[in-house]
Structure 1
C-alpha cells in the first residue's frame, strides 16, 4: 500500500471543484476531508491537518475570516482559491494569514505543485519547532535584529522599547515584515491596507505613513536601513543589511 502523503482539508462551496480536487489528491495518496462552508469546515481542522485549501468567496463566513480563525490556533499552511486575480486581492489574503494564492481556473499540475511546496516548507518548519521545543505562540513574533512585532497583541518594540504606531502603520509594517525583501508598490500597499481603489494622489498618503514608520523603527529615519525606498518600484523591508 502506498504511503499516505499528508492530511488536507478542503473548504470550497462549489461541489464540482471540491470533488475534482478531492479525487486528484486522493489519487496522490493524500488523506482528504472536505466541507462546503467555513462553519462546516473549521471544526474538521485538527493537529494532524497538514494543509487547508480555502476558497475566499464562501457563503456566510468568508475564506478571509475563516483564515483569521484558523490562525488563532494553528500555523497550518493555507492555500487560497479564488476567482479574483488582482495583486491587491492576493495581498489581502496574505494579510489574513494565508500562505499562498491560486486564482481560478488553475491547472491540476499547478495545484499539486503549490501543495507540495507548502507541505515541504511546513514540515521543515515543524521539524525546527519540535527540535527547539518552542511553543506555537512564539510564531506570533516577527523579529529582525532589535525590532520585534507581536501579531497577537499588535505590539511593536525596538530595542525593548515600545513603538508608537497607528493601526494603519502597524498593518503596513506587519505586511512588510511578513514578506521581507519583497517590493511593495504604493498601489499595492494602499489597496491592501486601506482596502480602497488607488488613485495617483494616494501615493502621498502612503509616503506619509512610511515616514512615520521610519521615525518609529529606524535608528536614523533620514537614512533608513529597514524600510527602504526602491526608486520607481516602491518600498521594501530590507534584511540584507543585517537588521
Structure 2
C-alpha cells in the first residue's frame, strides 16, 4: 500500500480523491491544518500532496520546509493559476504541480509515476521479499523468483508482473496499476495481461477456477495471496 500525506483544507475535495485512490491501494491521510500536517510524522509517508492556499501559512512555505527536512516526493495540487506559483514550487523542490480542477485518474497516474521514479533512485539490489511468511521470494540481484525455494523459469514480462504483485503483499491490484508499473505491458486494451497471467498460473501450478495464489478480483484486477 502507498501511504500519502495530504495537506488540503477543502475536505470535500480531499474525501473524493481519497475514496477514488483507495481502490488502488493508496491511502490518503489528510490534514486541513498545515501545522498538524507538518507534525504528522512525515517520514512514515511515501508522498505528499500539498495545497497552496492554506490557513495560517502559504503552501509554498510548507513545501520549502518539507524539502529542507525530509526526502519525500511532493505533488502540489492547487487552484492558484499564477504561473509564478508553479515555477517557484518546482524551483524550491516540489516534484510535480497539478492545477485544479483535475480528474482523480490523472492524480493516480502522477502518483504512480513519481513513486516509481523515487523507487528507482533508491532501489537496492539485495535479495528481498515483501512478506517473510510468503511462499514467494524475490531475488532482485539475480532477477529470480522462488516459490517455496524452488526457482521459477519466467520470461522478463512474467518476472516483472509477478515481482510487482508479490511486493503489493496481498492487496488487490488493478489492471491499470499493472500497466503503469510494468513496462512489459504497453497496451491497456490488449489481451497481453490475460495471456501472461495464464502463463504465470500454469508455472506456479495454479488454477483460474480454484486458485491458490493468483485470484481475480471482479471490477478491479488481481490479487496475489500466499
Q: Please give the range of the TM-score, normalised by the shorter of the 2 chains.
A: 0.5 to 0.7
Alignment deviations for residues 147-172 of structure 1 (CA, whole Å, 9 cap, x no partner): xxxxxxxxxxxxxxxxxxxxxxxxxx
Equivalent in 2, 8, 28 of residue 4 of structure 2: 8
Partner of 1:47: 43
Structure 2 equivalent of residue 23 of structure 1: 19
Q: Which runs of 5+ in 1 are unaligned?
A: 132-243
Taking the aligned partners of 1:55 and 1:46, their CA distance within structure 2 comes to 16
Which sits farther off after the overlay, 36-45 or 99-108?
36-45
Partner Cα separation in structure 2 for residue 92 and residue 60 of structure 1: 19
Contact 2:18 2:27 in 1 (8 A): no
Q: CA deviation at 1:55?
A: 0.1
Question: Alignment partner for residue 59 of structure 2, among 42, 54, 63?
Answer: 63
Provide the aligned C-alpha RMSD in A: 1.8
Tell me, yes or no, if structure 1 residue 111 matches structure 2 residue 125. Answer: no
Going from structure 1 to structure 2, the CA distance change for 1:46 and 1:86 (only over 3 Å counts) comes to closer
- The one-character-per-residue Cα deviations of 1:136-190 (angstroms, maximum 9, x if unpaired) are xxxxxxxxxxxxxxxxxxxxxxxxxxxxxxxxxxxxxxxxxxxxxxxxxxxxxxx
Equivalent of 1:122 in 101, 118, 121: 118
- Structure 2, unaligned runs of 5 or more: 127-226
Match of 1:100 in 2: 96
Q: Describe how 1:224-239 pairs up with structure 2 within 5 A.
A: none
Confirm or deny: 8 A CA contact 2:5 2:42 kept in the other structure. no
What is the CA distance between 1:57 and its match in structure 2?
Answer: 0.8
Instruction: Please say if 1:32 is aligned against 2:65.
Output: no
Q: Which has the higher contact order (CA 8 A, sep 6+)?
A: 2
Residues 38 and 62 in structure 1, CA contact (< 8 A), matched pair in contact too: no
Match of 2:75 in 1: 79
Shift of 1:22: 1.3
How many residues get paired?
A: 126
Instruction: Determine if contact 1:9/1:45 at 8 Å carries over to the other structure.
Output: no
- Structure 2 length-normalised TM: 0.52
